[in-house]
Amino acid sequence: MEASTALKVEGVSVQLGGRQILDDITFELRPGELTGLIGSNGAGKTTLFRVILGLQATSAGSVRIGAQGERQGVGYVPQKFLLDPDMPLRGRDLVGLGIDGHRFGLPKPSKTRRQRIQQMLEAVDAQDFADARVGQLSGGEQQRILIAHALISNPQLLLLDEPLANLDLRSAKEVVTLLSRIATEHRVSVLISAHEMNPLLPVMDRIVYLADGRAVSGTADEVIRTDVLSKLYRHHVDVLKVHGRVIVVAGEGDHDDEPDHGPVEII
C-alpha cells in the first residue's frame, strides 16, 4: 500500500447470525483528510468500526492501516462513555491515560509526561476545564477531552463513533471545526461516523456512505447524487437541497425484504 494511504478497506464482508451486515466494502483514507462515515441506524457503521479496530472477524476482505498495517496507530473515541459525575477523575487525568492506561499501577510523574498532556489539552482547546471532574463537564467539553485522550498516542488514524450525538448545534459545530483542524495540523486521517451528514459538509474531504451493509465512497459531490444513491439503495432515492441542507428521501424498496424509509430525511 502506498505511504499516502492511512487506511485501506478492501472487499470487507461480515455475516452475523446468517445475516449479511457488511457486503464487499471498499474504500481508502488519506492522511490529513476528514472523512464522514454516513448511514442511518443499522446501516453497519459500528460493525465496520469494529472490523477496523480488529474486534470483529470478517467473512471476506482485508483491512490495512498505514504502511505497516499496525492497529496500534489507531485512536478511538467511542459513542458512549459514561462517567460518574462524582468520580474524582480530572480531564487531564483522562488524557494522561492515553499514554499509560494500558499499564498496571500508577503512572510515573515526569516533566515530559505533563508537557505532553498539556500539549494535547491545548490542541483541543480544553485547557480551561482540564482540572474539572470529567463527569461534570458538558457533552462538548467531554468530547474534547476524549479526543485529546485518543490523540496523545500519535495515531495516524482517528475513529470517532457518533461524536455529534446528543450535542447541541453550537457544540457540534465546534467539535467538527476542531476535528478538521486536527486532521490538517497533525496529518491524521479522521473518520467520523454519523447518521446526519449536514454538520460535516463544510469540512468533509470525503464520504463513505453506507446503506443496508453496502457502501459507496468519494467526495460529497461524487456520492450525494440521485443516480449514485439510487443504485446503492437498489431503488429510487431523491437528493434534495433545502436552505443549505442536503436531504435524502428514500421511498419503498422494490422487494419486501428491503426497508421502507418512507418520505423522510434519513441522513
Which helix or strand (DSSP H or E) is residue 182 part of? Answer: helix 169-186
> pLDDT tens digits, residue range 184-237?
999 999 999 998 899 999 999 999 999 989 999 999 999 999 999 999 999 999
Strands 189-194 and 34-38: parallel
Closest CA to 218 of 3, 65, 31, 36: 36
In which residue are the cell numbers 419486501 written?
Answer: 256
How high is the pLDDT of residue 178? Answer: 95
Sheet of 189-194, strand order = 74-77, 157-161, 189-194, 34-38, 206-211, 214-218
pLDDT at 3 over 60: no
pLDDT at 139 over 60: yes
How high is the pLDDT of residue 160? Answer: 96
d(CA 139, CA 130) in angstroms, rounded, equals 14
Closest CA to 28 of 188, 193, 217: 217
Segment 18-47 mean pLDDT: 94
Sorted by sequence, the CB contacts under 8 Å of residue 112 that are 6+ apart come out as none
Number of H helices, E strands in the chain: 7, 11
Average pLDDT of the chain, as a whole number: 86
Give start-end residues of each CATH 3.40.50.300 domain in the chain.
Answer: 7-224
The DSSP code for 135 is: G
What is each CA distance from 263 to 65, 224, 237, 256, in whole angstroms? 39, 17, 10, 17
More reliable by pLDDT, 16 or 103: 16
Options 3.40.50.300, 3.30.559.10, 3.50.50.60, 3.40.50.1980; CATH for 7-224 is 3.40.50.300
Q: Please tell me whether residue 228 adopts helix, strand or coil conformation.
A: helix
Q: What are phi and psi of 49, to 5 degrees?
A: -60, -45
Strands 206-211 and 214-218: antiparallel
d(CA 138, CA 165) in angstroms, rounded, equals 13
The DSSP code for 258 is: S
Q: Are 32 and 187 in contact (CB under 8 A)?
A: yes
Cell numbers placing 261: 424509509
d(CA 249, CA 101) in angstroms, rounded, equals 44
More reliable by pLDDT, 153 or 256: 153
Q: How confident is the model at residue 27 (pLDDT cuts 50, 70, 90)?
A: very high
pLDDT at 1 over 60: no
How high is the pLDDT of residue 72? Answer: 63
> pLDDT tens digits, residue range 140-150?
999 999 999 99
The DSSP code for 106 is: P
More reliable by pLDDT, 31 or 1: 31
